[in-house]
Amino acid sequence: MGPLFELLIDQGMDDQFLSEKQLLPENLFEACKAVGVPAILKKREGYNHSYFYIASFIGEHIKYHAEALLK
């Protein structure tokens, strides 16, 4: 039996923690691929690690998770 979910990774590309090497979303994405866990990596240009980033995409995430739960 395979994974029951698809991991959604969403990253602002102007996030200060990327340049400080504290966030490594590509590593997580590659690790998922290596073990057969389906994953989506969304890179958002012009966004950082702020409330505005979360507020901008929360609706998309809620829709994604709601659809996954209904499958």
**Sequence ranges of the domains in the chain:** 7-69
pLDDT at 24 over 90: yes
Q: Which whole number is the average pLDDT over 54-70? A: 94
Q: Pick the closest to residue 11 from 34, 40, 35 (CA basis).
A: 40
* Band of pLDDT at residue 25, cut at 50, 70 and 90: very high
Q: Coil, helix or strand for 50?
A: coil
Question: Rounded CA gap, 32 and 55, in Å?
Answer: 26
Note the pTM of the prediction, 2 decimals: 0.84
Buried/exposed 49-66: b ≥16 CB within 10 Å, e otherwise: beeebeeebeeeeeeeee
pLDDT score at 3: 67
